[in-house]
Amino acid sequence: MASALVRLHRDDPGAFSVSRLTCDLARVPNLTDLVRDHMRDWLGLLAGLVSRAQTDGDLPPTLDARDLAAVLVAATDGLKDLGGLIDTPSRARRAFERRIDVLVRLVDASSAR
């Protein structure tokens, strides 16, 4: 699943814009609840994928699926934000992929336990 998020960000640079726009819209008082509901739906969809991976034995069943989905989204968005601050534009994509690979390896390592 983390790999799918990486591919999404690599293949569609606009995907990150959705995350940023969502955060901005969540600060508009009359949109907060609507945006929150949509984000919860998105996390629910991802949690369903995590649950399926747990059932298939690809992820440890001891992790809460909704929490892992939230961590993966937050880590992906956070790494993208951080890269925009510390990397030059010419290095940002490669650095993002390298850092997200660390996240994937962490998730994989927890699966191997």
Cβ proximity of 111 and 61 under 8 Å: no
Domain boundaries, given as residue ranges, for the chain: 2-112
The Cα-based distances of 72 to 43, 46, 98, 103 in angstroms read 10, 9, 15, 8
User: pTM here?
Assistant: 0.77
Mean pLDDT by 10 residues, the chain (113 residues): 63 69 88 93 94 91 94 88 91 89 84 70
